[in-house]
Each structure stands twice: as C-alpha cells, then as structure tokens.
C-alpha cells in the first residue's frame, strides 16, 4: 500500500541527501573488525557485523554513522570488488566445493556455484584453482560466490610455487610451439663469411640458448678490434607472424628459480639460432674499435654474417684459468689468445668506466638447489667473477654503439633510459648529502655528468647507508622509443640488441639495425609495444620474487634452521617494523616493532631517514648488519618473522 507513496519516496530522498557518505578501501584485521581507508591520513572503523558484507581490498561507498559516541561506517555500495579473477585453494565439505583466496587478509570460504559437470569429483581439499567472483553481498546476494575457471595443480605437488604464481600473473608455463615454417631461414641478404675466425662463447656451463659470440684482435697501433656476433632469430621469424606475435606477448624469457620459460620455441632458441660450438650460424654482427685506454672509436660497422663458434667456454673455467685457480686450460693457443685479449679489453673498459661513467658495485647472487623431485634443498651464493665481467663489458660496448647507430640513422628504437632524479628528489638528495658535508646542487646532479660525478664520489666514500638513501631518491629505469640518457650506467644513450633469443625489445632493435644495413624502410615502434614490454618485465620480476619467497618459507621451516643465528642486512624501516635480508641465503625477513622494543611509545621508526630510535637513541639504520633468529615461518602468506638476537 505504501510502496509507491510519493510522501514516503520524498522522505527517503531527503534522508539520503542528509546522511553523510564516504568512499574508500576496506582494510581487514585479524580480529574481525576493519577500517575504511579514505586516504593516507583518514580512516573510519568498520564493526565486525558490517565487515561481513565486504572483503579486504573492496572499494566501497559507506554510510557514516555515530554508535556509542564513535564514528563508524556501514558499507552500502560496491564501487569495485577486490576479488575478480583470483587464485585459491579448494576445500570440500558436505559434497560442496569452496575456495579460499590466496591473500593474507581473506580467510573465509567462498562457495563455488554453477560447477561444471563432474567438477566435484575432479577436486580434493588442498588443490589449487583459479576462480572468478560472480556474487557479492553488496550487490544484493546473501553470499559471496565464485565460479571455477581452471585447475592449477594438485595438493602437495612440488611444483606448486611455480604453477600457482604463474597462474596468478597470467604467465605462460611452457615454451611456445614451433611450426614447420619457423625452421626456414627467410633472410637471404648477402652475409660476410667469418667462419674462419676464432669466435668463442662464454656462458654458464649448462646454457643452451647462446646469444653472443666474440672475436678480438689487436691492431697495429695496439687498439682492440672487437667483433660481437649475435644470434639472428629475426631471420627465421617474420614480423607479424604467429610466432612473432607470441614472442611480443611474452616479451622475455622468464627466468625463475630452478628453470626458465623461453620466449621462443626451444628448437629455435636452443638449437637452430643458438651459437652452439662447431655449428655454422647466421648472425647480426658489429665491428668495433676500442683504444687501449678503453675509449670506443666512431669506426663502427653493423653487418650480417656467418660464423662458427670454435668453443663454448664456461664462466667458471675461464675465471679459474685467469685467476690461476685450477688445472683447466684452453684447448689451443688461439682460444687462449682470445681469452687474454678479452681480459685486457675488460680491464681497460672497467678503468674507463670508473673514470668517465658509472661503475656499479658487485652484489651477491643467490641460487636455489633442488632435489630430483623439485624439493628445495639449499641456497648457494654466486659471485660475479672476471669471466662474467668480460662478457658484461663486451655487451655494454655493443649496446652503446647500437644506440648511437640507431640514433644517427633513424632517431628511434627501443632504448633503455634512466633519468636520475626529478627536481624534487634532487633537492631532497642535495639536502641529505649536505648533512654529511657532501656539497652538490640540484641542477648539477640532474645532468648526466653531475650524476656520474655523484656516483663516483659515493663509490669512493663507500658508505652503505648514504648510498641506500640516495638510491631511494633515484628514478627507475624504463624503455623509450626515442633516444635518452641512462644515468645509472652513465651513458648518453643505451639500446640492447645482444639477447634477441630472450628479449623481444632486442628483436625489434635487430629488425631496425637490419633495415639500415639493407637500406629498407624502418618501422618505428609504437607506444603500445613499449608499454606491453614494460608490463611483461614487471610481471616476470614479481613472479620471480613471489616464487623465491615461497621457496624460502619451505626451506627455512626445516629443523636445522630453528634457533639458528643469521647475519642480516637491514633493507627498509617502516612504522610497523624492519625488513632485512639474510646474507647467508638471501631470504627476506620481517622484524615486527614489538620485537624491537616492548614499549611502543619509546620506539620511533622513521621510514624517510631509514632509522629506528629507542628513547631518542639511534639503535638501527638501513644497511646495518644485525644478528637475528627466526621466530615464525608463515607458509600461507609466505612471510618469515624474525627477532633480533641480543
């Protein structure tokens, strides 16, 4: 009777106008209540009864009310759900399927609705699957409900960390398939025959996808003449072909702990295109002259060629031979001569970069070791040795000249750029350095020369804390279609082309370099492909980190690590505690504020300065190495909780 009453309708409209509403993101807590976070400064309490309507991460509109003299909010309208497509674990109860999303603050079971035929019989408790949220309580449903998309992996499968992570980020599990036409060399442009030269490759012992080979000799005036030969997959893969589109979507070979997922089919990347020893291969090559002082001369030539790698060498053997650490010897004098000359070139370039560009410090790398069944057994430290630096310096030379060549001939390509500091962060950096009697101006460090000078001063100072704070103000590296400086390397421009088997951006640059060589029209890359490559790179990095975190929790829950003391470097300080990296194995741990000092009011954790004070006294700062003991391994969230060992 009252349903269409105009007075009642008007009353409701007036109430809606006068009742204040707020929009924000729902934040859950361990104790059932939550908060609606409006911005970094403002949030409102959500009582447990109202939290039952929403999930952590939902963006909602809520009514602002007063209950018991306290401001609370009651979620009213869903603006954007946190859960859409998600990964979770199956639970089976009373012949029904449920799924628990794999997120720290989402612990409630979500019922699976509309399951496919025989779906219940396909799944068991603990299995992993992807699902899509289809019903939300704020949209008029009495329950949260999801539809299954696909099974990921069975419970307790050793490969669970990999398959779950790759499914979460929509990344491929396997190498792409190859078709018959992909075996055929399609580029019949005349190539120089360099098969008589003693090209060598230096890589990891078990590497099969070999991108680069090197040949070096001395000129009459004692300069170095270096030929860098790079595998040529674009001679097999036509632009716009099915395989080319697949490679562009993948962007990179995805390097993960234990194995990698190739960008190209293995038959191409590990056989047909790979610069395997004693095999005739087509290459894109570059001839470069470098003075004995390490300066790159302008006499650069790009060309297509045939080569035969005379020997596949390993980083370990070459480093041991140079450092005189074991009995390994090059197979013949000509190979020995190549190693010696490449070593000389490397040392001259390191010296040149130290004086004229930016020389980055060596850092520790960590590698997981696995059993035959895929169970993580240990983590070992791998240091960059002299053979790694030989290849690194040669590839840097090649990428510098490629950037210059593209800029002069086309004015575009896929460039790696790094802009150093923006104005605000440059001013923050200058202010910070002044407190340590290091005097720079913002204008100075925003130039390439000034930035390089700053990095050289910091390298000489060798203060890890100051270095970490300055790096915090620096910008991130990115891709650009037009030339630009790379401050972090210290070069006016930089474009990679030396890994076309593993990077689609390098395939693009290959095609551009070849268009110049052949005097054919060049197609400028568009913003869309640049953004796609950048996004894929980000997803690959996140997936590698997620899998590593998972593997560390599996490893460190073992009995031998309980109550064991570790040395750990503090890498970040926030309001909630300290993040640190265990030096022995690279695992990241979190030390809650409560474990630092029991009286919270006496503890100040300053993220901006990277320092922690207790009763006004400095106790911890970023870059400090402290002793810790592991307290708790949280497998569900892949977090490792530690405390200082006093």
Q: In this structure, are residues 288 and 401 in contact, taking their beta carbons and an 8 Å threshold?
A: yes
344 in a domain, yes or no? yes
Phi, psi (degrees; rounded to nearest 5) at 183? -85, -15
**What span, in angstroms and rounded, lies between the C-alpha atoms of 455 and 441?**
14
Angle, to 10 degrees, between the axis of helix 386-409 and the axis of helix 315-322?
A: 110
Per-residue pLDDT of 209-220, as tens digits, reads: 999 999 999 999
Least confident of 62-76, 411-425, 603-617: 62-76
Question: In this structure, are 461 and 360 located in the same domain?
Answer: no
Same-domain pairing of 379 and 361: yes
Query: Of all residues in the chain, what percent carry a pLDDT higher than 90?
Result: 83
Q: Please enumerate in sequence order all residues whose Cβ is within 8 A of that of 241, keeping only pairs 6 or more positions apart, or say none.
A: none
422 is a catalytic site residue: no
Cβ-contact 204, 260 below 8 angstroms? no
Which is nearest to 318 in space by CA: 294, 334, 352, 342?
Answer: 342
Q: Average pLDDT, whole number, for the chain?
A: 93
Q: Is 645 a catalytic residue?
A: no
Task: Say yes or no to pLDDT of 256 above 70.
Answer: yes
8-state DSSP, 248: H
Look at residues 56, 80, 104 and tell me which one is the last residue of a structural domain.
80
Read off the pLDDT of residues 32-42 as tens digits, 9 standing for 90 and up. Answer: 899 999 987 88
Of 62-71, 75-84, 564-573, 617-626, which range is least confident? 62-71
State yes or no: is 526 an active-site residue: no
Asked whether residue 8 carries a pLDDT value surpassing 80, the answer given is no
Domain CATH number, residue 145: 2.40.50.640
Q: Are residues 634 and 523 in the same domain?
A: no
pLDDT of 182 over the 80 cut = no
Reported as a single tens digit per residue, the pLDDT across 266-320 is 999 999 999 999 999 999 999 999 999 999 999 999 999 999 999 999 999 999 9
Q: Is the pLDDT of residue 4 over 80?
A: no
pLDDT of residue 629: 95
pTM equals: 0.91
**Confidence at 389, pLDDT banded by 50, 70, 90:** very high
- Annotation says 203 is catalytic: yes
Q: Which of 89, 353, 502, 511 is flagged as catalytic?
A: 502
Instruction: Check 182, 203, 244, 624 and give the catalytic one.
Output: 203
pLDDT level of residue 11 (50, 70, 90 thresholds): very low
Asked if residue 391 is part of any domain, the answer here is yes
Task: Out of 58, 182, 198, 212, pick the active-site residue.
Answer: 212
Tokens, residue 305 = 């060629």
Q: Other C-beta atoms within 10 Å of 365: how many?
A: 12
**293 domain residue, yes or no:** yes
Q: Where is pLDDT greater, at 114 or 243?
A: 243
Q: How far, in Å, are 86, 111, 316 from residue 400 at the CA level?
A: 42, 56, 27
Write down the H helix ranges in 498-608.
504-518, 527-556, 593-596
431 contact partners, CB below 8 Å, separation of at least 6: none
CATH number at residue 35: 2.40.50.140
* Co-location of 411 and 496 in the same domain: yes
Instruction: Please report whether residue 171 resides in a domain.
Output: no
Distance, C-alpha 584 to centroid of its chain: 22
- For residue 39, what is the DSSP state? S
Question: What are the angstrom distances between the C-alpha of 368 and each of 169, 364, 469, 636?
Answer: 22, 13, 30, 21
Share of the chain above pLDDT 70, in %: 96
Identify any residues that bridge with 110 across adjacent strands, giving them in sequence order: 99
Instruction: For 408-433, give the DSSP string.
Output: HHTS-S-EEEB----HHHHHHHHHHH
Specify whether 497 is located in the same domain as 411: yes
Active site residue 494: no
**Domain annotation covers residue 175:** no
Q: How many domains does the chain have?
A: 5
Catalytic pick among 236, 315, 473, 620? 315
- Which one of the listed residues 58, 127, 182, 209 is annotated catalytic? 209
CA 159 – CA 168 distance, rounded (Å) = 14
Q: For residue 180, is it within any domain?
A: no
Has 211 been annotated as catalytic?
yes
Tokens of 196: 């008589």
Q: Name the residue range of residue 533's domain.
A: 185-417+488-545
Q: Looking at the structure, do residues 228 and 365 belong to the same domain, yes or no?
A: yes
Does 14 map to a domain? no
Cβ(22)–Cβ(73) below 8 Å: yes
**CA nearest to 619, candidates 608, 606, 629:** 606
| Of 350, 225, 342, residue with least CA distance to 294 | 350
Q: Are residues 256 and 327 in the same domain?
A: yes
Q: Is residue 627 part of a domain?
A: yes
| Sign of the Cα pseudo-torsion (274, 402, 293, 359, in order) | negative
């Amino acid at each position: 009777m009252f349903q269409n009453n105009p007075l009642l309708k008007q009353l409701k409209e007036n109430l809606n106008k006068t009742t204040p509403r707020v929009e924000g993101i729902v934040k859950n807590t361990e104790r059932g209540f939550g908060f609606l976070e409006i911005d970094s400064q403002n949030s409102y309490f959500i009582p447990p009864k109202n939290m039952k309507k929403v999930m952590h991460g939902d963006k909602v509109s809520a009514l602002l009310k007063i209950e018991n003299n306290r401001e609370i909010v009651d979620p009213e309208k869903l603006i954007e759900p946190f859960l859409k497509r998600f990964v979770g674990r199956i639970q089976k109860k009373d012949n029904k399927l449920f799924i628990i999303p794999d997120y720290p603050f989402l612990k409630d079971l979500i019922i699976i609705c509309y399951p496919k035929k025989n779906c219940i019989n396909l799944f068991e408790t603990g299995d992993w699957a992807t699902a899509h949220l289809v019903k939300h309580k704020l949209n008029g449903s009495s329950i949260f409900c999801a539809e299954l998309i696909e099974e990921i992996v069975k419970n307790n499968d050793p490969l669970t960390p990999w398959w779950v992570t790759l499914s979460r980020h929509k990344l491929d599990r396997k190498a792409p398939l190859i078709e018959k036409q992909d075996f055929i060399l399609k580029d019949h442009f005349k190539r120089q025959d360099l098969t008589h030269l003693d090209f060598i490759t230096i890589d990891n012992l078990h590497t099969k996808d070999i991108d680069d080979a090197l040949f070096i000799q001395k000129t009459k005036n004692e300069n170095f003449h270096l030929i860098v030969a790079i595998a040529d997959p674009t001679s097999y893969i036509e632009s716009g072909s099915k395989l080319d589109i697949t490679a562009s979507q993948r962007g990179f070979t995805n390097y993960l702990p234990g194995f990698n997922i190739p960008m190209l089919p293995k038959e191409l990347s590990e056989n047909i295109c790979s610069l395997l020893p004693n095999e005739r291969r087509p290459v894109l090559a570059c001839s470069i002259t470098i003075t004995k002082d390490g300066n790159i001369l302008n006499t650069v030539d790009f060309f297509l060629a045939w080569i035969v790698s005379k020997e596949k060498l390993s980083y370990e053997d070459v480093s041991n031979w140079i450092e005189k650490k074991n009995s390994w010897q090059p197979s013949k004098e000509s190979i020995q001569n190549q190693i010696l000359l490449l070593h000389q070139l490397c040392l001259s370039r390191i010296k040149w970069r130290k004086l004229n560009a930016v020389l980055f410090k060596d850092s520790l790398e960590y590698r997981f070791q696995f059993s035959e069944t895929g169970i993580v057994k240990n983590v070992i430290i791998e240091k960059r040795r002299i053979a790694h630096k030989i290849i690194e310096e040669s590839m840097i030379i090649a990428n510098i000249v490629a950037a210059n060549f593209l800029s002069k001939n086309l004015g575009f390509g896929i460039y790696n750029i790094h802009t150093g500091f923006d104005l605000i962060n440059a001013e923050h950096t200058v202010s910070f350095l002044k407190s340590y009697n290091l005097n720079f101006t913002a204008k100075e460090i925003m130039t390439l020369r000034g930035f390089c000078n700053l990095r050289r001063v910091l390298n000489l100072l060798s203060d890890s804390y100051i270095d970490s704070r300055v790096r915090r103000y620096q910008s991130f590296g990115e891709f650009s279609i037009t030339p630009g400086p790379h401050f972090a390397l210290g070069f006016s421009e930089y474009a990679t082309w030396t890994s076309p088997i593993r990077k689609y951006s390098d395939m693009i640059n290959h095609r551009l370099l070849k268009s110049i060589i052949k005097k054919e029209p060049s197609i400028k890359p568009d913003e869309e492909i640049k953004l796609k490559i950048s996004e894929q790179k980000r997803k690959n990095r996140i997936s590698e980190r997620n899998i590593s975190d998972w593997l560390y929790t599996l490893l460190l829950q073992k009995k031998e690590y309980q109550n064991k003391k570790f040395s750990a470097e503090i890498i970040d300080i926030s309001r909630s505690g300290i993040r640190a990296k265990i030096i022995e194995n690279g695992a990241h741990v979190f030390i809650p504020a409560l474990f630092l000092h029991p009286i919270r009011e006496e503890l100040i954790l300053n993220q901006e300065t990277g320092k922690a004070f207790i009763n006004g006294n400095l106790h911890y700062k970023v870059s400090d190495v402290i002793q810790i003991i592991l307290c708790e391994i949280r497998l569900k969230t892949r977090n490792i909780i530690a405390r200082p060992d006093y």
